[in-house]
Structure 1
Amino acid sequence: MRLLLGALLTLLSQLALAVLPAPVLQALRSADIPPSAISVVVQSVEGGPARISHRAKQPMNPASVMKLVTTYAALDTLGPAYSWRTELLATVTPRDGVLDGDLYIRGSGDPALSMEQFWLLLRELRSRGIRDIRGDVITDRSRYALLAHDPGAFDNEPLAPYNVGPDALLLAHNALRIRLQPTEGGAPVLWSEPPLDGVQIDNRVQLVAGDCGDWKDTLFAAVQPAGNGALTLQISGRYARDCGERIWNVAPLPHADFFARALRAMWAELGGRITGRVREGVVPINAAVLGGIDSPPLAEVIRDINKYSNNVMARQLFLALSPSGVPADTVGAAAGVRAWAAQRNLPLPSLVMDNGSGLSRTERLSAYDLAALLRRAWASPVMPEFVSSMPVLAVDGTLRRRLKTSPLAGQAHLKTGSLADTRSIAGYVLDRNGQRVLMVAWLNHPNAKRAQPVLEALLEWVWNGNPQPLPTTD
């Protein structure tokens, strides 16, 4: 029995070796990653026999490549021109610069409500002559169900901006943008945007000599109470002079507190006053609209999501796929994606989604299923918007520094992903013969951090235009 089992394992190993190109196998050996840890599909965008199909139907964690499912489903469902609207409303008519009642701010889940956009919205209110708000400001987040989210649960980094959860009134990605500028003295100058009422920065950063390197890893942030509702954001650590001027994003506060403090500070800068509290509630049916602002169209939003792998924007977009008319939640969003796939006759049996961003331990997808989605997307009316949302190899987004001196530079639109035990890549490559090819590859293994040469070797093999299919191992 043992001899039979050993022979079977040897045969499976030989089959795996037969299906992967020699440079990929060499890179896997160098990284100490077995062929059984990687899934690959390479195929013409027109379909036909796969050039490579290795463990293609095995569900695996795709990391941020899952964003391709979320963005294509949204683009195909909602349309490239879809936008979100944030509104200001009241139940009383402003007079003589005074709103003698409550102001309501209704969110719709806009993934791209920036500080600049919010300033324009508040400026519209000031242009109507309103200066004093003598009631409360009531924020309506009812478009989303109450979503429990622990920002430190994923990797014990609660202030990391990529760990921000979704919110129906998400402002500036709920992140504080801290600018660091070296000086001739002993500490860099720090300043931040957006302004936050009652929040002061305690700068304890030391300016040091040496290479810039992974400069973010040497900085630390902590929030401390300062009395009477005020807070101190203490920034400490070391910052190399050679780094020059940089921007560091942190997410120090819960959504409601961040929004309230930003609102008060920005309204005060515009010369306005708020007498009451900023609290949560629901817009009454008799409220009249005082102003509103629309997000950029979805085609632009997904460019930010895919080119820069923005997790919080992907979470927001995922929730937009939940059924309308009810508070959005992740269960409804996942059901919405499945309903869309069924309507498009696009079976995705391996698909498991929990937030749509890929920043997850539980999301799963097979290379075979994503390849089917990429073929469908290539033939769809929204193909130009979808493809252009991906980073261009060696040109922009998360791939701007990859393979810059290779003939591959500029020849591929690809989405990448990485977690501690995952590396992934998927998208479209224009090979040296002028043929458009789709590729999907990801691996789950403790040595995933060594896997970049593996994926680059595969990319080069695809670009070289090897047309003969290799034996499949599915």
Structure 2
Amino acid sequence: MQLTKRWCLFACCLWAGVAQAALPSSLQEALTKAQLPLDSVAIVVQPLNGEPPLISHNQTKALNPASVMKVVTTYAALEALTPAYRWKTEVYKNGPVNQGVLDGDLIIKGYGDPALNNAELWRLLQQVQQQGIKHIKGNLVLDGSIYTAEVSQRPILDDEPWRAYNVNPYALLLNGGHTSFRFGVAKEGSKPVVNITQEFELPQIKVVNAMQVSKGACGDWRNNLRYGVSTTSEGATVTFSGTLPEQCDERYLELNVLSQQQYAVSTFKKLWAQLGGRLDGQALAAALPASAHLVTTWWSAPLDEVIRDINKWSNNVMARQLMLTIGMETGLAPVDESSSALMLKEVLRKRGLSFPELVLENGSGLSRIERISAEHLAQLLVTAYQRPVMPVLMASLPILGLDGTLKKRLPEAPSQGMAYLKTGSLEGVSSIAGYVQDTQGKRYVVVMLVNHSQASASRAIQDGLIKAVIEGR
């Protein structure tokens, strides 16, 4: 993002005013111009060499950090589970197998793998067939009983319940629980038309395309797109209307239009059939029977890979399942979010991080009640920097001007690539926190939390602060 002349001036003059930890006058002026009261903002700029903070404003005030809370969850998970941790998904049979025919049920038991995708499920089902099962005469049973029922029934935070960021946890979460719709402009004769496809097509999802092609550049294409979803016990119909500018290349929208169980069942049926398999019975949810025998186990990618998706792309449901995993691995059965939050706090306490003001609802920041202070968020980042898991945590954060949610922010030299930061935004919340290196090689922890109806106006101020730290001015 290009800084305006005003923010460039702010960035250039900031460093002269930070000899003390108080908020510099130039920063105060920038906040005032953005109509952000000083008591709605908390900022900490802390050198990592042990020196006193350069800025420490409202540092003890508990504020909503939005998705920056994922830093707390992912750090605690790295400490509690280790970077090498892997989730398992088990497949059982409940009956004898004779000449490829299972005379009974096939049971899939999930343990909350947040990253299980269609390609991995295909490989898991291929393993099942390699164990001699091609024809299931009984039912397909999905066992998601490691989570309490309440986990998947949390209220939706906003007025877009179908958006992928509102997906609730599910012990057999597949593909993040959402369908990716691809939009593009194609030619139908001489007339341009909008083409809409599912990236992984399921027959249970019907698409009604009422979109038109408009003139001009792509711009903020989402403002001109509207959709409606109607659901039944058999599937869903998604109606798209509005316009797509002719200069758009491929664009995507992720929606969770099927229930988590519907999505998993529909995907299983499609992949099982593609592999030449047959299912005679129904699909149902039930706990693993004691009489069942293990057929095969799928192991996920290690945690050090999974948290990159969580932090770089701010994946809410993956973060929520990560916090639930902390609870699960301490022996909670079935596991819920409130008990898992207590276990997460205990992990932090054992690392000397006792935060009385910390409020965890689901660990993702997709919450109106989660809270932490800038001081304690900075303390966590400083502690993490000194721990063996530091390289993994830092590598999971978006890189300034290069990838993730920071790809378009400060992409010019000398700022590009000089910071690893997690962003967070909700209506009335804008935050950023992580590690910044200046042009002399000195590293800092930078935290800025804003809770106000005009919070979105703080983004340019965040960029100015980061730029000032990088340039040492």
Compute the TM-score of the two structures, normalised by the length of structure 1.
0.91
- AA aligned opposite 1:283: L
Residue 324 of structure 1: CA displacement?
2.2
Please give the alpha-carbon distance, in whole angstroms, between the structure 2 residues aligned to 1:169 and 1:306.
21
Residue 134 (structure 2) aligned to one of 125, 131, 134: 131
Please give the alpha-carbon distance, in whole angstroms, between the structure 1 residues aligned to 2:222 and 2:86.
34
Please give the alpha-carbon distance, in whole angstroms, between the structure 2 residues aligned to 1:225 and 1:404.
42
Please give the alpha-carbon distance, in whole angstroms, between the structure 2 residues aligned to 1:247 and 1:44.
40
Listed one character per residue, the Cα deviations across residues 183-220 of structure 1 (whole Å, up to 9, x for unaligned) are 12353222214332433222222222222122233333
Please give the alpha-carbon distance, in whole angstroms, between the structure 2 residues aligned to 1:261 and 1:201.
16
Please give the alpha-carbon distance, in whole angstroms, between the structure 2 residues aligned to 1:97 and 1:72.
46
Structural mapping, 1:323-472, within 5 Å? 323-465=330-472
Query: Do the aligned partners of 1:68 and 1:306 also contact (CA within 8 Å) in 2?
Result: yes
Residue 95 (structure 2) aligned to one of 67, 92, 104: 92
Tell me which residue corresponds to 1:111. 114
Which segment drifts farther, 373-382 or 241-250?
Answer: 241-250
Identity %: 41
- AA aligned opposite 1:182: V
Tell me which residue corresponds to 1:184. 187
Residue 74 (structure 2) aligned to one of 65, 71, 74: 71
- AA aligned opposite 1:210: G
- AA aligned opposite 1:303: R
Please give the alpha-carbon distance, in whole angstroms, between the structure 1 residues aligned to 2:199 and 2:279.
21
Residue 297 (structure 1) aligned to one of 299, 302, 316: 302
Does 2:325 match 1:320?
A: yes
Residue 64 of structure 1: CA displacement?
0.7
Does 2:311 match 1:306?
A: yes
SS in 1 for 2:295: strand
Does 2:205 match 1:199?
A: yes
Please give the alpha-carbon distance, in whole angstroms, between the structure 1 residues aligned to 2:429 and 2:352.
29
Query: Do the aligned partners of 2:21 and 2:57 also contact (CA within 8 Å) in 1?
Result: no
Residue 461 of structure 1: CA displacement?
2.4
Listed one character per residue, the Cα deviations across residues 245-269 of structure 1 (whole Å, up to 9, x for unaligned) are 1222111011111211221122122
Please give the alpha-carbon distance, in whole angstroms, between the structure 1 residues aligned to 2:352 and 2:120.
39
- AA aligned opposite 1:110: D
Residue 327 of structure 1: CA displacement?
1.1
SS in 2 for 1:261: helix
Listed one character per residue, the Cα deviations across residues 315-366 of structure 1 (whole Å, up to 9, x for unaligned) are 1101111132411111111111111122222111221000101111000000
Query: Structure 1: 5+ residue runs without aligned partners?
Result: 1-16, 467-474
Residue 148 of structure 1: CA displacement?
5.0
Please give the alpha-carbon distance, in whole angstroms, between the structure 2 residues aligned to 1:147 and 1:169.
15
Does 2:34 match 1:31?
A: yes
Tell me which residue corresponds to 1:280. 285
Query: Do the aligned partners of 1:151 and 1:159 also contact (CA within 8 Å) in 2?
Result: no
Residue 150 of structure 1: CA displacement?
5.4
Please give the alpha-carbon distance, in whole angstroms, between the structure 2 residues aligned to 1:347 and 1:265.
48
Please give the alpha-carbon distance, in whole angstroms, between the structure 2 residues aligned to 1:168 and 1:193.
23
Please give the alpha-carbon distance, in whole angstroms, between the structure 2 residues aligned to 1:253 and 1:198.
9
Change (3 A) 1:118 1:208: same
Change (3 A) 1:68 1:459: same
- AA aligned opposite 2:261: A
Change (3 A) 1:373 1:231: closer
Which segment drifts farther, 282-291 or 406-415?
Answer: 282-291
Residue 151 of structure 1: CA displacement?
7.2
SS in 2 for 1:183: strand
SS in 2 for 1:159: coil
SS in 2 for 1:184: strand
Tell me which residue corresponds to 2:8. none
SS in 1 for 2:326: coil
Residue 412 of structure 1: CA displacement?
0.7
Please give the alpha-carbon distance, in whole angstroms, between the structure 2 residues aligned to 1:178 and 1:67.
27
Aligned length: 450
Alignment root-mean-square deviation, CA:
2.0
Which segment drifts farther, 392-401 or 197-206?
Answer: 197-206
Change (3 A) 1:255 1:61: same
Query: Do the aligned partners of 2:151 and 2:336 also contact (CA within 8 Å) in 1?
Result: no
Please give the alpha-carbon distance, in whole angstroms, between the structure 2 residues aligned to 1:273 and 1:301.
33
- AA aligned opposite 2:266: R
Change (3 A) 1:44 1:390: same
Residue 300 of structure 1: CA displacement?
0.6
Query: Do the aligned partners of 1:210 and 1:240 also contact (CA within 8 Å) in 2?
Result: yes
Please give the alpha-carbon distance, in whole angstroms, between the structure 1 residues aligned to 2:118 and 2:77.
25
Query: Do the aligned partners of 2:21 and 2:54 also contact (CA within 8 Å) in 1?
Result: no
SS in 1 for 2:366: coil
Query: Do the aligned partners of 2:135 and 2:278 also contact (CA within 8 Å) in 1?
Result: yes
Query: Do the aligned partners of 2:42 and 2:450 also contact (CA within 8 Å) in 1?
Result: yes
Please give the alpha-carbon distance, in whole angstroms, between the structure 2 residues aligned to 1:306 and 1:93.
45
Which segment drifts farther, 38-47 or 364-373?
Answer: 38-47
- AA aligned opposite 1:207: V
Tell me which residue corresponds to 1:259. 264
Query: Do the aligned partners of 2:235 and 2:258 also contact (CA within 8 Å) in 1?
Result: no
Which segment drifts farther, 50-59 or 262-271?
Answer: 262-271
Tell me which residue corresponds to 2:12. none
Please give the alpha-carbon distance, in whole angstroms, between the structure 1 residues aligned to 2:79 and 2:60.
24
Which segment drifts farther, 158-167 or 430-439?
Answer: 430-439
Please give the alpha-carbon distance, in whole angstroms, between the structure 2 residues aligned to 1:166 and 1:118.
18
Please give the alpha-carbon distance, in whole angstroms, between the structure 2 residues aligned to 1:224 and 1:61.
34
- AA aligned opposite 1:80: P
Listed one character per residue, the Cα deviations across residues 30-81 of structure 1 (whole Å, up to 9, x for unaligned) are 2111222110111112333111111100000011100000000000110000
Listed one character per residue, the Cα deviations across residues 128-181 of structure 1 (whole Å, up to 9, x for unaligned) are 342221111110001111125557731111110000011101000110011222
Please give the alpha-carbon distance, in whole angstroms, between the structure 1 residues aligned to 2:335 and 2:352.
25
Query: Do the aligned partners of 1:306 and 1:390 also contact (CA within 8 Å) in 2?
Result: yes
